[in-house]
Amino acid sequence: MPDTPAKTQRLSADDAGIARAAELLRAGRQVAFPTETVYGLGADATQDDAVAGIYAAKDRPQFNPLIVHLPDVDAARALVEWPEAAGRVAAAHWPGPISLVLPLRAGARVSKLVTAGLDTLAVRVPAHPVARALLRATGRPVAAPSANRSGRISPTWADHVLHTLDGRIAAVLEGGASEVGLESTILGLAGAPMLLRPGAVSADALAATLGGPVAARAEDAAISAPGQTTSHYAPDASLRLEATAWRPGEARLGFGPVDCDLNLSKAGDLREAAANLFAHLHALDAGGPQTIAVSPIPQTGLGAAINDRLARAAAPR
Ligand code: TXA
Ligand code: MG
C-alpha cells in the first residue's frame, strides 16, 4: 500500500480546508493539524492501517502508545473509564494541554496500534479552535503524535511540519503558531495520580485540582526501557522470533509467503504487517499456546519498529 502522495497539500484553516482534512482522515490518510501544544500528525484511531501510516510517515523506530484527540469530554468518556479524578482534571483543564491515561473501556473501537497493546489509553481534548473544528468534522477519535520525522524537533508551525514530512503525508492544515510549543502534560489516572510527562499544566496545579499529591515518574523510564515489559503488551505465550521453520505445537505467525496460522502480510508489506501486529498476537495468544513462533521480519523501514515491539514482547519476564 505505498500510496504516499507525491506532494503534501497545504490546506487553509477555513470551512473548506477543515472539511477536506476531515474527509482525508476518514479515508484513512494522515493529516497534520495545529494544536495549542504542537502540530499533531493525525490519523483515524479506529483504522489499523491509518495508524500504521503515522509510523511509516514519521519513520518511528518504536511503537510508543499514541494520544487520542477528541472534541469534548463525552467523546473521551466513550473510550475510557472515567474515575472522579478524571472529571476534576477535565473540568479544570480541558480543553487544554493535558492528556489523561485511563483504563480503556471494554469494546472501545481503538486500534491496538494506538495503545501499543496496553489496556490503557491516553486521551486529550485540545483547545486550539482549528483542532476542535477538525475533530468535530471528522467524527472519529484521532490519534496524533507530534508531526515530525522521528528524532527531529516537534513542529509549532505548518512550515516545520513540511520541513520533515513534505511528500510523506496527505495534507497539513495551516493554523498559525502553536501557543504552548511543548507537548501536553501527561497524567496517569489508571491508578494513583502519576505525572508521566511534564508540560504546561504543572504538577502543582494538578495537585491543587485533585486535592492531593501527584507522584512523578519519568516518561521514558515508564514505557520505553527495554525489558520493562510490565507496561507493554506481552502475550501469555512465550515468543520465538526469527523462526524459519515451525516446531510442533507452536502457534505460527507468518510474514511473507509462508504456511502459518495468521500472516502479518502475505505480500511482505511492512505497513500491512504493522497494522496487523497487535491484533494477530492477541488472536493467537487467545488460543492458549505455549509458544508463538514468528517469521523473520526485515529490519528495513517499519520493520525496525515491528522488531522492536516483538523484542519487547519476547523479553524475559
Ligand atoms: O501535545 C501533545 O500531546 C502532542 C499533540 C499532537 O497533541 N502529541 C504528542 O504525542 O506529544 P506523542 O506521540 O509525542 O506522545 C505520546 C506519549 C507516548 O510517548 C507516551 O509517553 C504517552 O504519550 N502515552 C500514550 N499512551 C499512553 C499510555 N496508555 N500509557 C502511558 N503513556 C502513554
Ligand atoms: Mg514527539
Read off the pLDDT of residues 128-147 as tens digits, 9 standing for 90 and up.
Answer: 999 999 999 999 999 999 99
Does the structure show a pLDDT above 80 at 92?
Answer: yes
Pocket of ligand 1 (CB under 6 A): 35, 37-38, 40, 64-67, 99, 101, 115, 118, 120-122, 124, 144-146, 183-184, 186, 196-197, 219, 223
Q: How far apart are CA 285 and CA 51, in angstroms?
A: 23
Say whether 113 sits in a helix, a strand or coil.
helix
C-alpha cell at 183: 507537548
CA nearest neighbour of 234 among 287, 302, 281, 289: 281
pLDDT, greater one: 60 or 16: 16
Q: 94 CA distance to ligand 1 centroid (A)?
A: 16
Grid-cell match 494544536, residue found: 35
Grid-cell match 499456546, residue found: 289
Percent of the chain with pLDDT over 90: 66
Residues 177-182, mean pLDDT to the nearest whole number: 81
C-alpha cell at 269: 508489506
Overall pTM surpassing 0.85 (yes/no): no
Please give the mean pLDDT across all residues of the chain: 89
130, 34 Cβ separation under 8 angstroms = yes
Digit-coded pLDDT (tens) for 249-289? 999 999 999 999 999 999 999 888 887 787 788 789 889 99
Out of 99, 105, 124, 125, give the residue to mutate to test ligand 1, the one with the largest number of ligand atoms within 8 Å of its CB.
99
Distances (CA, A) of 31 to 3, 41, 171, 199, 310: 14, 6, 5, 24, 28
Ligand 1: residue whose CA is nearest its atom 13? 145
Percent of the chain with pLDDT over 70: 92
Q: 253 CA distance to ligand 2 centroid (A)?
A: 31
Q: How far apart are CA 115 and CA 143, in angstroms?
A: 10
Query: Given this model, what pLDDT does residue 1 score?
Result: 44
Does the structure show a pLDDT above 60 at 200?
Answer: yes
Query: What are the backbone dihedrals phi and psi of residue 207, each rounded to the nearest 5 degrees, phi first?
Result: -60, -40
How far does Cα 247 stand from its chain's mean position? 34
Query: Given this model, what pLDDT does residue 216 score?
Result: 82
Q: For residue 26, how many C-alpha atoms fall within 13 Å in the half-sphere facing its CB? A: 13
Residues 149-178, mean pLDDT to the nearest whole number: 89
How far does Cα 193 stand from its chain's mean position? 21
pLDDT, greater one: 217 or 35: 35
